[in-house]
Amino acid sequence: MRRREIAGDAQADRPPELPAGFRHDDLQTPADGVGPLFHRRYAVRVADAELSPEDLVARMRENLDAFAPSEFASFQRTTGDGPLAAGHEYIVRMPGPWDGPVRVVEAAETSFRLATLAGHLEAGQIVFRAAADDDELELSIESWACSGDRLSNLLYTHARMAKEIQLHMWISFLERAIEHSGGRRSGPIEIETRRVDDHGDG
């Protein structure tokens, strides 16, 4: 694992725009959050994968909870049927008072994006991707989020408890994705965090 934390930029590190016509009710955006905006990316390369990026993401969309590290979290669908699709909603169940409702913003062949809903620990978005790079896969999780409220900000930014739980959760998710791909990790898991204190929201 290789970690790097650097100062971010209020413009370059803003979350992506929501698709036109997307349901905004109950969304918890960075403007609703508290404290710094964290733009974080977890990425790992996979050698000798038996699945294409499309096939791996299709498996995630078919059963997202199969990729969740049970010791840290589970994904329980609350609305929608069939493979994960835009508009579906889930609750991310975590130990302690960390349960977080999310809505699927978009779902494509090699990626899908979730947005937090009211009551979530965070306020922002997260994207899961798989891509082909030469003869390897690159798997990544990229998020843009503030703390959802003042207590979350205390635990995440100052006490750092929630931050470490989140770190291990997404690392474990990537490790499970590697297992599902049938390949093996090629190099360390790279984690880059870009912190924006004055992001103009919240």
Burial of 150 (0-12, 13-18, 19+ CB in 10 A): exposed
The CA angle 70-5-187, to the nearest 5 degrees, is: 60
Q: What is the maximum span of the chain, computed from C-alpha positions, in angstroms? A: 45
Q: Which residues contact 138 (CB under 8 A, 6 or more apart)?
A: 43, 44, 45, 46, 129, 130, 131, 132
Q: Is the pTM value of this prediction over 0.75?
A: yes
* DSSP at 158: I
Query: Exposed, middle or buried, 200 (CB in 10 Å: 0-12/13-18/19+)?
Result: exposed
The answer to whether 32 and 123 have CB atoms below 8 angstroms apart is yes
Confidence of residue 136 (pLDDT cuts 50, 70, 90): very high
The per-residue pLDDT for range 87-101, each reduced to its tens digit, is 999 998 876 656 789
pLDDT at 192 over 90: yes
Cα→Cα distances 112→87, 140, 155, 157, 169, Å: 12, 11, 28, 27, 18
pLDDT of residue 159: 46
CATH 3.30.530.20 fits 2-8+25-196, yes or no: yes
